[in-house]
A = this chain, B = another copy of it.
Amino acid sequence: MTKNRLIYLPLGGAGEIGMNAYVYGYGPAGKERLILVDLGVTFPDMDTSPGVDLILPDVSWLAARLDRLEAIFITHAHEDHIGALGRLWPQLQKPVYCRRFTATIGKLKFDEAGLPLDQIITVDARPATVEAGPFKVQFIPVSHSIPESSALVIDTPAGRIFHSGDFKIDQTPVVGEGWDDARITDLVAERPVKAMTCDSTNVFSNHAGRSESTLGPALTELIKSSSGMVVATTFGSNVARLKTLAEAARAADRSICVLGRAMKKMIGAAEQSGVMTGFPRTISPEEALEVPRRNLMLLVTGSQGERRAASAQLSRGKYLGVEMREGDTFLFSSKTIPGNEREVLRIWNAFSEKGVNVIDDTGGKYHVSGHANRPDLEHVHRLVLPDMLIPMHGEHRHLREHSRIATEAGIASAVVTNGMMVDLSGDVPEVVEHVETGRIYLDGTAMVGALDGVVRDRIRMALNGHALVTVILDENDQPMGEPWVELMGLPPTGRGDRPLVETLEGDLASFIDRASRKLLKDDVKLEDEIRKVLRQVAMEEIGKKPEVTVVISRLTAE
């Protein structure tokens, strides 16, 4: 009989923050039954993915093994865990299990994409159990910065896995269930944990995490002491923070207005799914315009500086009729994700020009993280007592540090990054295969592979500009007229202030005049030579070699 094995294979999220997608399998090698945990996106940036709308994990490995895939589980409704569901589900077509709030968000995505809503199945917390092939899966409530975040207990014949999901240790999270050590010790007592896959994002934060509930008093004080309008931004999905902010506003006798679709959607979903009650009454933007500024508090989207979100729009001018003025206060109740600093500071400076007081998290009084810091991770390691710890959800440096901590505590561990298939059946994790993984770009409505060259060409045009050459040859391979050059993204003049287009056209004309009959017959070679001449002349004129597209048109006698 073939030996069964228990495998773990990250397709996204291991070696990066974002785009979480983790596969578990159980069965004979190469015939394991599979489940997928999370299906998130990550966000593009100008440096590496200009023009791209969203970045999705490449799930083609799974799509080629659909007969083995049992189900999809989503731990929570953050975009980096659920964001690709609407786009990629058509490739997978398996039932999606998640808790109520997550299901509400998932169904909104399915509805938008025209997918069957009945494929999203709401599951209660443990002891409720989903059976998916050889897997028995339970949702364990954990605290995080969105309602109903869950760890998963995944039982297999080869042992129990504890998949942490994103979590922090917060007994008093304002909205939803608090962290409860007993919940963990109970499940460990029931059956020991063979392997724990664990959130690593905050492993470099050396202080213990703080509870969401510690923010209220400082926020209330800040809002009370502000003379003008107060506007606060945070992640729309952090409904606990929104509630804390709204309650602080009420304590300061202010009316509350929510600006930004994403934020309203999340508040709606939290109320609809029953995880949040008692959110203070809000008013519409129209009503807000009638309220004295000192009695008004806005909650707005765009904490990461997104250009189209409410924060950025308010920093540039009016948004839905609302305008910030000298003496108003703008609060970033959020942390800037590395890479978003420039955009966030642009907003800050724009507000500064308006005389708005901007307050950020520098003092640590108005924001707490949703992830477990190093001491919290160590605490959970001790609670779960796994035989093996596999760090997940982190850049390589996070995974490595997390693995080091586990190893130091005597737990077997390995750094497992996207595409590494690991056998968890034995006493230590063992790499058994490397699977091709990658990133898919959603670009407009098209899907483009990250390595297809499309985005590489965009980056090249951005760095080097783009020159186009049109050459027309007659039926005898003789040039008709002179080559035509068009430039985009290139300086108009070269040395001695000569127009660059004219210099290029002149030099190309001379080159073609001198070209041999043989060269003029050969499109590929001619194109290549024209490109070389153009790049060389440009280098002399402007010190830069542009990207070049050559169009050779041949007229045939009709």
Chain A interface (Cβ < 8 Å from any Cβ of B)? 15, 45-47, 50-51, 204, 338-339, 341-342, 345, 348-349, 351-353, 355, 358, 362, 395-397, 399-400, 443-448, 452, 454-455, 457-459, 461-466, 468, 470, 472, 480-481, 484, 486, 488-495, 539, 541-544, 547, 549, 551, 553, 555, 558
Contacts and interface: CB of A to CB of B under 8 A. Distances in A.
Contact of A549 (B51, B468, B493): B468
Contact of A491 (B352, B448, B493): B448
Contact of A204 (B362, B480, B544, B558): B362
A314 to B, nearest CB: 16
27 contacts: A15-B349, A46-B46, A47-B47, A51-B462, A51-B465, A339-B341, A339-B342, A345-B397, A352-B395, A352-B396, A353-B396, A358-B397, A443-B543, A444-B539, A444-B544, A445-B495, A446-B542, A452-B492, A454-B491, A458-B461, A458-B462, A458-B465, A462-B462, A466-B488, A468-B468, A470-B470, A470-B551
A484 B523 CA distance: 15
Contact of A444 (B461, B470, B542): B542
A491 B446 contact: yes
A355 to B, nearest CB: 8
Q: How many copies does the complex hold?
A: 2
Given A338-B341, A345-B395, A543-B446, A50 B463 contact: yes
A206 to B, nearest CB: 8
Contacts of A542: 443-446
Contacts of A461: 458, 461-462, 466, 488-489
Given A462-B51, A465-B51, A472 B555 contact: yes
A484 B553 contact: yes
Contact of A443 (B47, B491, B495): B491
A396 B349 contact: yes
Nearest to A548: B488
Contact of A488 (B345, B351, B457): B457
Nearest to A443: B491
A280 to B, nearest CB: 31
B549 A486 contact: yes
A544 B446 contact: yes
A443 to B, nearest CB: 6
Nearest to A404: B357
A119 B558 CA distance: 70
A384 to B, nearest CB: 25
Given A341-B338, A342-B339, A446-B494, A397 B51 contact: no
Nearest to A17: B345
A486 B51 contact: no
Contact of A352 (B341, B362, B397, B446): B397
A544 to B, nearest CB: 3
Given A352-B399, A444-B543, A488-B549, 11 more contacts: A45-B342, A46-B46, A50-B463, A358-B397, A445-B543, A446-B493, A458-B465, A461-B489, A462-B462, A468-B549, A555-B555
A230 B486 CA distance: 51
A445 B349 CA distance: 32
A458 B457 CA distance: 12
Nearest to A49: B462
Nearest to A360: B204
Nearest to A555: B480
* A458, A484, A486, A547 pick with most chain B CB within 10 angstroms: A458
Nearest to A540: B445
A396 to B, nearest CB: 4
A464 B51 contact: yes
Nearest to A547: B488
Contacts of A489: 51, 454-455, 457-458, 461
Contacts of A47: 46-47, 342
Contacts of A355: 400
A459 B462 contact: yes
B466 A466 contact: yes
A451 to B, nearest CB: 13
Contacts of A399: 352
A167 B555 CA distance: 69
